[in-house]
A and B are shown apart, each in its own frame.
Chain A
């Protein structure tokens, strides 16, 4: 990032802060891991991790929790990134969930998310004995995230205690843990959605093409456009996918991720559209609105 005169610009301050957080993790923990969800925030996180350790490689593995219901393009992008940048990629799917064929159609979004994401994440973190897990959450995304520390303590059951967080002063992070405890670390805490997009633009960071408008097959369900990404999608009686010019503001499991009608096919167009839009980013995610205070509850249970 450029500097103007003697003082750093807004984005370069954010970039430096994130790099410092990454280095603190690498220096302070025995077995760190970085959560890689393949979305735009993960792309920025990956870019910052490469910067933090250059010319060394990223000194910890990247972990993807694969629910098996991600967009096909996301998986292809993930594998391409791993090959291009030479990071160690670990992929975990909940084996019991897979055996029981847990899916968003039969089991509902809450149960499906719990088993294939939250449970799977806890399995993977436990099996890897990771003492620090880096995630791409931002404080501007959701109200309980706005309250969370950058170094966020988890007890031995991976649970967050929102009423008793460690004080976090300056950039002096208390990284000490008792046996079995772990830390979730959020280097993008102070970034906004707009910061993410302008940084992707300024740094020319690769992102999954699903963010750009294209004609895609969709069906409308309870006011949300869902893309028919593969043959597993269950069409209801009388439902036929229609080709529409759509894109995604956020990426997750395709049956649970709403597309928006949009002609924005370039980064500047996306940014302009976002500035003009009057709905918030997570609106397209079905899981957050399942119940009041739902994100805080999920976090207490160990969801990222």
Chain B
């Protein structure tokens, strides 16, 4: 059971333990196209560093029967592919983390999937890596996925790339093949901003150029892979960057102590330093830097501490403490690069939740500038961003947030977008720069307010938002409502889907993206009208939950009543007042709600009107009670 490992030192245990604690850490990922041998390479690194233990080795040899194996009789990829489905299909689905160390360094490896459909998992692995091993099959050369991964590495700010030209044995250790792939890659990557690119010819299966230089490639003069990984300097000195302290948790054990817990994202902070809250610009001094091991005089990037200020200023989770003179952007608009990770595409105008550091806030994609072709790095116009696509876009948040460009400060410039209903992570973005517009454009305030105008009209302004299928009875009910309200002396207006599309929105079609913009504009108009003191009846199919939620948010403090005219599709189709269903069934109209475009029923509407069983008069009456009540 006991065997000598190269890690057992001859020196004293105390020294050895000290060495373990003081070793530097390299986080890297393996990426590249499927079947380029990523898992095999990691298995090989673990095996050659003698980190495969006896029981694992025995299990591995058993499982390797009937598989593609090297001289050792082991399929190394089995060491890494951990999910049952992965082992059955022989592919990598999700990123796996592996740990090994040599006498010089500790390594955390993220083995990421090569299939395009799992690109989001590759981005997960890349986001925390210092370096990437980009694998290429010597027989195939640079592929689409090699380029896609390089581009995502560049986007996420991975600075160092090793181009691992694998299966060099299968091209007869041909120096020209290697040289060709290397120069092709350097040409492609020249504008991607990597700090270093190295190329190594290897055979992961046979072990060539992994730990020592291979006799089969006498023409290769660079360092073998493992020594290169041990030597490369990747550490940036984050302690000299501008100080950023995102407050994660307010620490209040009792009335006498109020501290702000978080991790120093960058820079250094010392007791006595003057700091500002980036949002309010209120200043204070650092009174104490608290840890369980005792107070500190200073704390640097990466340290988790609790800061106590010398005076009470209003700071809570999501706020960022900074040094005066080196403050971050504070704005509600910025431009970003985005990797989209969901089946549902990204649309301009749609509202999402944005999380950056500890800041969580509703946000809207205001403009999709272009999508980037991963093959050519060319930028092309786009109306939406599909799964695994990368694009440049602008984002507006509901209120200003503190951020830095991602290239300057990863922790302050990387964000995710979250679906507001399903709560899925939809995409990852990196901020390029802040847009100044928001800071220059402020609201004019006038003396005659909504309340004054409403009082003059003797009514409470409101937005009644009808939603339901075409032919469900929305416009009929809205019409009856308006007659009733007008008879009572109220001031009203109906915004009708068809009518608005003849004017204000005549530039919009019926794609998902156009429907979203259609609703956004109408919601803004409804708000202006309600602001003018009117009761606004909005009669739009408005098929998506997200946009109805957006309309409610745009309404803000104005009374907003979501009225769901719940008439089943069969009933609407039987009525077919405009003959639209018949045409949609024949395929003459595309993207027709209920036929080939979805309707998402409201989960908690304010009023449900059962259009199949109630008369329009009864429904209008029911709603009138609600609006006037």
Interface residues of A (CB under 8 A from B): 1, 3-4, 6-13, 15-16, 19-20, 23-24, 26-27, 50-57, 139-140, 142-147, 149, 162-163, 165-172, 174, 176-178, 189-190, 192, 194, 198, 201-202, 268, 271-272, 275-280, 283, 292-293, 296-297
Stretch at the interface among B186-194, B255-263, B273-281, B470-478: B255-263
Q: Which of A1, A7, A54 is close to B235, meaning CB atoms less than 8 Å apart?
A: A7
B83 located at the interface, meaning its Cβ lies under 8 Å from any Cβ of chain A in the complex = yes
Q: Which of B24, B82, B422 is close to A147, meaning CB atoms less than 8 Å apart?
A: B82
**Complex CA distance for A27 and B259, rounded to whole angstroms:** 14
Q: Which of A145, A176, A275 is close to B8, meaning CB atoms less than 8 Å apart?
A: A275
A20 B304 Cβ-Cβ under 8 A: yes
A6 and B300 in contact, given A140-B99, A198-B17 (Cβ under 8 angstroms): yes
What number of B residues sit within 8 Å (CB to CB) of A? 86
Q: Which of A13, A50, A51, A297 is close to B25, meaning CB atoms less than 8 Å apart?
A: A13
B387 to chain A, nearest CB (A): 12
**Complex CA distance for A271 and B17, rounded to whole angstroms:** 9
Q: Is the interface of B mostly helix, strand, loop or mixed?
A: mixed
B98 A55 Cβ-Cβ under 8 A: no
Q: Which of chain B's residues have a CB closer than 8 A to the CB of A177?
A: 423
A300 to chain B, nearest CB (A): 10
**Complex CA distance for A264 and B353, rounded to whole angstroms:** 53
Q: Which of A1, A6, A143 is close to B237, meaning CB atoms less than 8 Å apart?
A: A6
B53 A278 Cβ-Cβ under 8 A: yes
A155 to chain B, nearest CB (A): 12
Closest to B248 in A: A23
Closest to B262 in A: A23
**Complex CA distance for A206 and B235, rounded to whole angstroms:** 34
B55 A296 Cβ-Cβ under 8 A: no
Q: Which of A146, A163, A272 is close to B96, meaning CB atoms less than 8 Å apart?
A: A146
Q: Which of A54, A194, A280 is close to B20, meaning CB atoms less than 8 Å apart?
A: A194
- Which 10 A/B pairs are nearest by Cβ-Cβ distance? A143-B82, A176-B423, A19-B304, A54-B292, A56-B253, A6-B239, A278-B54, A169-B127, A293-B84, A16-B304
B2 A276 Cβ-Cβ under 8 A: yes
B431 located at the interface, meaning its Cβ lies under 8 Å from any Cβ of chain A in the complex = no
Q: Which of B14, B80, B124 is close to A168, meaning CB atoms less than 8 Å apart?
A: B124
A20 B248 Cβ-Cβ under 8 A: yes
**Complex CA distance for A16 and B265, rounded to whole angstroms:** 11
Within 402-422 of B, Cβ neighbours of A (below 8 Å) are at 410-411, 414-416, 418, 422
Closest to A149 in B: B124
B416 A172 Cβ-Cβ under 8 A: yes
B5 located at the interface, meaning its Cβ lies under 8 Å from any Cβ of chain A in the complex = yes
B567 located at the interface, meaning its Cβ lies under 8 Å from any Cβ of chain A in the complex = no
Closest to A59 in B: B249
A280 and B304 in contact, given A6-B237, A172-B414 (Cβ under 8 angstroms): no
Q: Which of A146, A201, A272 is close to B97, meaning CB atoms less than 8 Å apart?
A: A146
B542 located at the interface, meaning its Cβ lies under 8 Å from any Cβ of chain A in the complex = no
B82 A146 Cβ-Cβ under 8 A: yes
Q: Which of A6, A53, A176 is close to B418, meaning CB atoms less than 8 Å apart?
A: A176
The digit string for B5-35, where 1 denotes a CB below 8 A from any CB of A, is 1011000011001001111110000000000
Interface residues of B (CB under 8 A from A): 1-5, 7-8, 13-14, 17, 20-25, 53-56, 80-85, 87, 93-99, 101, 106, 108, 120-121, 123-124, 127-128, 156, 235, 237, 239-240, 248-249, 251-253, 257, 259, 261-263, 268, 290-293, 300, 302-304, 306, 317, 341, 353, 355-358, 410-411, 414-416, 418, 422-425, 428
**Complex CA distance for A238 and B43, rounded to whole angstroms:** 45
**Complex CA distance for A9 and B17, rounded to whole angstroms:** 13
B83 A169 Cβ-Cβ under 8 A: no
**Complex CA distance for A174 and B124, rounded to whole angstroms:** 13
A16 and B355 in contact, given A198-B17, A280-B53 (Cβ under 8 angstroms): no
Some 23 contacts from A to B, beta carbons below 8 A apart, are A1-B293, A16-B303, A19-B304, A20-B248, A23-B262, A24-B248, A53-B261, A55-B259, A145-B82, A146-B96, A146-B98, A162-B93, A165-B121, A167-B425, A169-B123, A169-B414, A169-B428, A174-B424, A198-B17, A198-B21, A202-B17, A276-B3, A279-B53
Closest to B292 in A: A54
**Complex CA distance for A189 and B110, rounded to whole angstroms:** 13
Q: Which of A15, A27, A147 is close to B358, meaning CB atoms less than 8 Å apart?
A: A27
B124 A272 Cβ-Cβ under 8 A: no
**Complex CA distance for A51 and B294, rounded to whole angstroms:** 11
Q: Which of chain B's residues have a CB closer than 8 A to the CB of A26?
A: 249
A174 B292 Cβ-Cβ under 8 A: no
Q: Which of chain A's residues have a CB closer than 8 A to the CB of B357?
A: 172
B80, B83, B123, B262: most-surrounded residue (chain A CB, <10 A): B83
